[in-house]
Amino acid sequence: MIRAAWLWLVCALCVVGCLRLQDKPDTWPCAQNSDCVSPNICRSRVCVDPDACQDDYQCGSGRGCVSNECRKVACTSSATAACSPYTCGDYACRTSCAATSDCQAGFACRDGACVAAECGTAPATKNCSPYSCLDYRCLTSCTKNADCADTFACLNGACQVPLKALGDLCDHDEQCTSGVCCADPGAALTVCAELRCTVSGEGGICAHDDQCSTKNCVSGACQACNSQACIAALCGTVKCGVFNGVNCGTCTGELVCNNGSCVAPCAGRECGEDHGVTCGSCPEKQYCDPQGKCQSACGDHDCGYINGTDCGTCPAKSHCDGSVHCAPACDGIECGTNFGVSCGDCPGNDQACSNNLCVAAVCPPQSSLYCKGNDVWDCKSGLSSALSSSCGKTGYCVASGESAVCKEKCTPGQAYCDGSVYGTCAADGKGQVAGGKDCDAAGLQCSVLGCESIDGVGACVVHSPAWAVGNVYSVAKTVTLDRFAQIFAINSGNFFVYESTTQAGPYTQIASQPASFSSEVVIQYSPTLNVQLVAGRFYILGVAASKSSVFCTYENGPLPVSFGSLLGQGYSSNNAALPTTISNPTGLSGSLQYVLTVAP
């Protein structure tokens, strides 16, 4: 019998185990995650997909429950800090508002935007006294008593005088909490009453003066006040000005009438004006109230403008909040701006700022242009990039500070100018090897031969027709003649160079380069000559035309040049063909020239 029971128990366990293995893990009951098939988890004693949800709290930070599935969202109803000053709606930050409920605490919806509230909603609990709070803003003027704080009245567009209680002396209805100011028959005064006055006006029935508003009862009828007795009764303690329809008197000397009393101007006042007299001004961060008293403009506020006073600015990484206090602006913010305050940049050049958080940069965020491959790319704040320009097969990209440019490759081993620097092209064709010479720094011009000196000699005096014109130079230091220029007008001809060991000659031709020219009288340059001018020798540099042409000549010398001097003599010829040698060049006129030479 016992053995049979054990067999039944074993069979039952086997059946349960088999059912467990065959069941779907998402409907199988569980007590812990290990009871579920990975990657499912145990939630509410049921195995479910880890991204399945019924509420936002099941999804963790930065995720929300959208259509019963945890997804990355911009915000949730319980995580709205990044949306300030707006709230989160449908997992996205609102960018406008229809009601104040669309704004975070301390902000109010005005004209479709959430703006800092002054009053009427926590934490904006500013006391607007003596004015009331309307539409989350403190009023600054009034048209009715409802525009003023409790116990204040609207007088002449300003909330000025606290309302008076029943029985207090008054001048008019607006001064009373009951809204009724009338005569007190027993005291001959006007006081705040609960009900409308029962005294009679002029012509009314009366038994004594106090039953008349004029304080003058004659033969049972109220008559106009025309005696000192009724004037005294109507004025009571009022000593000046018009009160109850009668003139209660005038003040003498420098005294002025203030609320029915003759007082010195500015009596009891610290500031403002009283009857045209300036009573003083308030210290910094104080303002003058309607009663002429200096009041603190800022109170416990740290910042902003209150009562027309600048109450200060907030320190770095803080802002002036809706309650006009300095509050942290960058808490939980890694980068960018918040409340108009800069919260800093992301560290390094491999991070970029996205929605106030530092994320991995796709390009150098500190650079507007950068090298990518062999091209120049435009980096958009480190978050995206686009091709700016392709350097092509003959160019390469060079980073320059926070930018990049395309440069043409040079011929390896060949000397060339990179801007004003003369140097040798590197083996990879990408720029010069180290040690190039900056020609600008030496006051020279960079050319394919090196750093050139440019000598301008002669002065244009007269345009003379000739077949050939040149200058005679004495060389003091050996240089390489790159090229030279003259002012002339010919269609074709040759630039020539003659050399001699003596000034008188004979000069032997060592270079001649044909060239095409302009027919106008302009500066025209020779081709590259690459001729060595040797120290201690003499040279004639000039131009020969194919026919008689116009040259610009000079009649002065000698003149110093960087490699020697221009002698006080020139060479000119009216022959079409250049001679093999030239002797005794003694012409007084030479040509205006620019000579470009390179020191070895």
DSSP string, 277-292: EEEE-PPTTEEE-TTS
Give me the pLDDT at residue 499, please: 96
Asked if pLDDT for residue 274 goes beyond 90, the answer is no
- pLDDT averaged over the chain? 79
Residue 568 has a pLDDT of 64
Mean pLDDT of 94-122: 85
Measure the CA–CA gap between 530 and 514, rounded to whole angstroms: 15
pLDDT of residue 195: 61
pLDDT tens figures, 435-457: 888 888 877 888 777 787 787 76
Instruction: Report the pLDDT value the prediction gives residue 201, as an integer from 0 to 100.
Output: 74
For residue 589, the model assigns a pLDDT of 56
Instruction: Identify the residue with better confidence: 13 or 312.
Output: 312
DSSP state letters, 139-154: -S--SSGGGB-TTEEE
**Residues 40-79 pLDDT 10s:** 888 778 888 888 888 877 887 778 888 888 888 888 877 7
Beta-ladder partners of 552 = 463
**Better-predicted residue by pLDDT, 458 or 358:** 358
pLDDT value of position 458: 62
pLDDT in tens, 392-429: 777 888 887 778 888 877 888 888 888 888 888 888 88
CA distance 585 to 600: 29
What confidence tier does 563 reach under pLDDT thresholds 50, 70, 90? Answer: very high
pLDDT at 549: 67
Within 10 Å of residue 70's Cβ, how many Cβ atoms?
A: 18
pLDDT class of 500 with cuts at 50, 70, 90: very high
Enumerate domains of the chain plus CATH numbers: 345-408 (no CATH), 415-448 (no CATH), 451-598 (2.60.120)
pTM of the predicted model as reported, rounded to 2 decimal places: 0.37
Q: What is the pLDDT of residue 46?
A: 84
Is residue 470 within 8 Å of residue 512, measured between CB atoms?
A: no
User: Which are the contacts of 75, defined by CB distance < 8 A and separation ≥ 6?
Assistant: 64, 82, 83, 88, 91, 92, 93
pLDDT of 460 reads 64
418: helix, coil or strand?
Answer: strand
Rg of the chain over Cα atoms, rounded to whole angstroms, equals 51
CB 524 within 8 A of CB 518: yes
pLDDT for residue 187 is more than 70: no
Q: Which pLDDT belongs to residue 24?
A: 44
User: Which three-class secondary structure state does DSSP give residue 411?
Assistant: coil
Ranking 301-305, 346-350, 418-422, 461-465 by mean pLDDT, the lowest is: 461-465
- Mean pLDDT on 179-197: 65
The predicted pLDDT at position 18 comes to: 43
At 329-370, the pLDDT tens digits run 788 787 888 888 888 888 877 888 888 888 888 888 777 788
